[in-house]
């Protein structure tokens, strides 16, 4: 693969910390952190908005990056009144603005997409 092509390399986590991409949270723990029902997380997965990793026994495991994305989804739906279809577009547009160094619109500056995989 040519240099600079493909997914950007992730910085290694400091010693003793799991890093953003390590799948450590079960669906029950993730739903507790997010204060939502586990079925809601399954719905987001069915829509392809968040895809948790699976264990050998097919159990869902969410990473810290997944939790950040779910919190962002909740922020858009709860605080900004965006439906889930709109969330996809808003996140994509915010990520593009971030990648090109353009500031987000004033009402959406509270949303940090720098750590999200969109």
Summarised one tens digit per residue, pLDDT across range 8-49 is 445 556 666 678 999 999 999 999 999 999 999 999 999 999
* C-alpha distance across the termini of the chain, in Å: 22
- What is the average per-residue pLDDT within 63-84? 95
| H-only helix segments in the chain | 27-34, 38-46, 64-79, 84-99
pLDDT at position 14 is: 65
- The domains located in the chain, with CATH, are 27-108 (1.10.1660.10)
What average pLDDT is seen over the chain? 88
74 DSSP assignment: H
- For residue 115, name the pLDDT band (cuts at 50, 70, 90): confident
- What is the average per-residue pLDDT within 71-91? 95
Given a cut of 90, whether residue 87 has pLDDT beyond it is yes
pLDDT at position 104 is: 93
């Amino acid at each position: 693969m040519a240099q600079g092509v493909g997914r950007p390399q992730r910085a290694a986590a400091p010693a003793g910390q799991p890093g953003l991409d390590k799948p450590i949270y079960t669906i029950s723990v993730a739903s507790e952190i997010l204060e939502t029902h586990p079925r809601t997380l399954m719905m987001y997965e069915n829509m392809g908005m968040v895809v948790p990793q699976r264990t050998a026994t097919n159990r869902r495991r969410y990473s810290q990056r997944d939790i950040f994305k779910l919190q962002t989804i909740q922020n858009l739906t709860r605080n900004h009144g965006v439906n889930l279809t709109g969330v996809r577009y808003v996140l994509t547009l915010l990520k593009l603005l971030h990648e090109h160094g353009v500031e987000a619109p004033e009402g959406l500056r509270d949303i940090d997409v720098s750590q999200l995989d969109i």
